[in-house]
Amino acid sequence: MAKKNRRKSIVGLDLPMLITLAFLLGASLLILSTASYNVNPSDPYHYVKNQVVWIITGIIVATFVAAVDYEYWRKLHWWIYGFTIFLLVLVFIVGSTAKGAQRWIPITSSIGIQPSEFAKVFMIITFAKFLADRKGKLNSVKSFILPFLYILPAALLIFLQPDLGSALVFGAIFIGMMFVAGAHPIKFGAIIIGALGLVVAAIFFHVSTNLPWPLSYLEGLPLPIKDYQLDRLLVFIDPQKSASDDAYHVVQSIWAIGSGGLWGKGYMQGTQGQYNFLPEHHTDFIFSVVGEEFGFIGTSILLFVFCIFILRIIAIGLRARDHYGMLITAGVASMLVFHIFVNVGMVSGIMPVTGIPLPFITSGGSSMLANMIAVGMVINVGLKGERPMF
């Protein structure tokens, strides 16, 4: 019997997903080896070595998560939810501040964790349980209120750090999981479109002047975000005319990607990245290095692999044994798609600058570990068999 169960578990592994994941992790080391080479001249491969450590740690953590039946995490959902809120509150008490934001909890003098990254995955696990218990009961506008209030505390705490980018990820997770949970598509879609319309209108009135009466009363409408966050949201409209640092980042990024052409300038042959004209080229703007040194072909291959990886996650969700498992994969897919779409759009100058990392590629321990936990959950859903047909 044990041998039979072991064989069933091996068959349940989604090899295409694991192969694409291995490609992404390998690509991360290759890209970082050139993107970060001149960031720390005294130790050119500092970030590559760190990334190797985080990848190995992530694989170990993902293996553990994949080995534990996700029903166990389902039973602990309130504990996980409480722990998530606790971590996010702890940031305001003992967190360290960097670049004007308090997002990190120091572990040692050189190592810290970013709770917002783990909060995304933990919230997916608990929100999936919350929605699974409401299957078939999300047909009215009123029924959308409790799910929104459930996810709001974590999103709000992250927004106050301030970390607008990660807070927006929670919005993507919420929308994706709500649709998969069975929220009435017309009613829920109308609310989402209406909310986006209100946000756009509020920003318009905040920055507008000389409006006709009575719209003039709304000029300078106060917004619950800082000026630099608003600049980041608007800089993509015309980065050439903006004096902000983020506009400089975007302009340099566009030049880097455009100069790569079809095949790129070659490994370690880029100018914007190698000569540090492009800031944050080993973190948020690492995709620009791919465009400059590996060209359109390189970026296309990377995005194609990401696409296959996401499609395999969706495939696992479609054959999950229960609604809870499907919702977990929906949350992970929504999170990763939003990260990829916004990061690539940001460095290409077609999306606002939000500081969202490129999954598995950007340098960073918290991001890598959180994403690997998410992968472990997806593998776990796939290993636990298909849903019964009757």
The sheet with strand 101-106 has its strands ordered as: 96-98, 101-106, 112-113
Q: Is 188 inside a domain boundary?
A: no
Position 282, amino acid? H
Confidence of residue 175 (pLDDT cuts 50, 70, 90): very high
Q: Is 248 inside a domain boundary?
A: yes
pLDDT at 228: 73
User: Across all residues in the chain, what is the average pLDDT?
Assistant: 89
Q: What is the mean pLDDT of the segment spanning 59-82?
A: 94
- Looking at per-residue pLDDT, the higher value among 187 and 209 belongs to 187
Position 366, amino acid? S
Work out whether strand 112-113 and strand 101-106 pair parallel, antiparallel, or are unpaired. antiparallel
pLDDT at 17: 95
How many residues are recorded in the chain? 390
Q: Is 306 inside a domain boundary?
A: yes
Contact of 148 with 191, CB cutoff 8 Å: no
Contact of 204 with 350, CB cutoff 8 Å: no
Convert the pLDDT of each residue in 220-236 to its tens digit.
Answer: 888 888 777 777 777 76
**Cα dihedral 25→30→32→38 (10° resolution):** 170
What does 261-290 look like in DSSP terms, one character per residue? TTT-S-TT--STTTTT-STTTTTTTHHHHH
pLDDT beyond 50 at 7:
no
Q: What is the mean pLDDT of the segment spanning 178-203?
A: 94
- Looking at per-residue pLDDT, the higher value among 99 and 145 belongs to 145
Q: What is the mean pLDDT of the segment spanning 281-301?
A: 94
Cα–Cα separations (whole angstroms), residue 224 to 79, 219, 319: 31, 15, 42
Convert the pLDDT of each residue in 200-226 to its tens digit.
Answer: 999 888 888 888 888 888 888 888 887
pLDDT at 295: 95
pLDDT beyond 90 at 101:
no
- Look up residue 36 and give its two tokens: 């970060």
pLDDT at 22: 97
Convert the pLDDT of each residue in 10-65 to its tens digit.
Answer: 556 889 999 999 999 999 999 999 998 888 888 889 899 999 999 999 999 999 99
Looking at 68-114, list the stretches that DSSP marks H as alpha helix, in order from N- to C-terminal side: 70-75, 77-94
Domains in the chain, number:
1
pLDDT at 5: 47
CB-based contacts of 241, cutoff 8 Å, min separation 6: 247
Could you give the CA distance from residue 365 to residue 162 in angstroms, rounded to a whole number? 20
- Looking at per-residue pLDDT, the higher value among 40 and 168 belongs to 168
pLDDT at 389: 40
Burial zone of 10 (CB within 10 Å; 0-12 exposed, 13-18 middle, 19+ buried): exposed
Q: Is 354 inside a domain boundary?
A: yes
pLDDT at 69: 92
Least confident of 34-48, 226-240, 308-322, 334-348: 226-240
pLDDT beyond 80 at 246:
no
CB-based contacts of 225, cutoff 8 Å, min separation 6: 162, 164
Q: Is 139 inside a domain boundary?
A: yes
Could you give the CA distance from residue 306 to residue 166 in angstroms, rounded to a whole number? 20
Cα–Cα separations (whole angstroms), residue 237 to 62, 268, 281, 352: 40, 31, 22, 8
Convert the pLDDT of each residue in 325-335 to its tens digit.
Answer: 999 999 999 99
pLDDT at 278: 83
- Look up residue 171 and give its two tokens: 């919005």
Confidence of residue 92 (pLDDT cuts 50, 70, 90): very high
Domain span holding position 262? 25-183+226-383
pLDDT at 225: 82
pLDDT beyond 60 at 8:
no
Could you give the CA distance from residue 288 to residue 265 in angstroms, rounded to a whole number? 12
Q: What is the mean pLDDT of the segment spanning 138-156?
A: 95
Convert the pLDDT of each residue in 347-361 to its tens digit.
Answer: 998 888 888 999 999
Q: What is the mean pLDDT of the segment spanning 249-255?
A: 87
Q: What's the predicted TM-score (pTM) here? A: 0.92
Burial zone of 98 (CB within 10 Å; 0-12 exposed, 13-18 middle, 19+ buried): exposed
pLDDT beyond 80 at 6:
no
With pLDDT > 90 as the criterion, what percentage of the chain qualifies? 63
